[in-house]
């Protein structure tokens, strides 16, 4: 992707941070999620079908959340998604969101992390 396209994507993603800030619960603790966590799965699905800038922004949020998880939550393996490419992550979220259109992007991402962690433990 060209530098100017990345700059536009980053600017759009950062400007969206003020749009949403919601509490989420993970395991035994609550935390504040910022960004696009409250986007409905139906919105994700529509954006991915239209294949425009919102799809890239939502996907970047998911990838960023996984990266933060890798940095702050993992104690041994540095990559919960090891062996999984970005396209596969998007396809997994696509399937989740088709099955649960009323869920949020946060719920889909947390379910993805659970599935990735389970897969990682099975190896």
Q: Return the bridge partners of 32, or none.
A: 23
Tell me, rounded to whole angstroms, the distance of Cα 37 from its chain centroid.
Answer: 8
Read off the pLDDT of residues 78-114 as tens digits, 9 standing for 90 and up.
888 888 999 999 999 999 999 999 999 999 999 999 9
The domain limits of the chain are: 3-122
- Give pLDDT, residue 29: 61
Rounded distance between C-alpha atoms, residue 112 and residue 59, angstroms: 13
Helices assigned H by DSSP within the chain = 3-16, 41-50, 53-72, 86-99, 105-122
Are 7 and 74 contacting, i.e. CB atoms less than 8 angstroms apart?
no
What is the reported pTM?
0.75
Read off the pLDDT of residues 19-42 as tens digits, 9 standing for 90 and up.
443 444 445 567 677 778 889 999
């Amino acid at each position: 992707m060209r530098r100017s396209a990345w700059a536009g994507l980053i600017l759009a993603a950062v400007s969206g941070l003020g749009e949403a800030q919601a509490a989420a619960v993970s395991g035994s603790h609550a935390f504040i999620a910022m960004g696009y966590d409250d986007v409905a799965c139906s919105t994700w699905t529509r954006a991915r079908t239209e294949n425009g800038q919102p799809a890239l922004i939502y996907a970047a949020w998911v990838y960023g959340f996984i990266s933060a998880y890798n940095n702050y939550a993992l104690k041994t393996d540095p990559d919960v998604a090891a062996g999984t490419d970005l396209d596969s992550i998007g396809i997994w979220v696509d399937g989740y969101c088709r099955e649960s259109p009323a869920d949020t992007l946060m719920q889909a991402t947390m379910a993805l992390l659970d599935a990735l962690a389970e897969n990682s433990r099975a190896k």
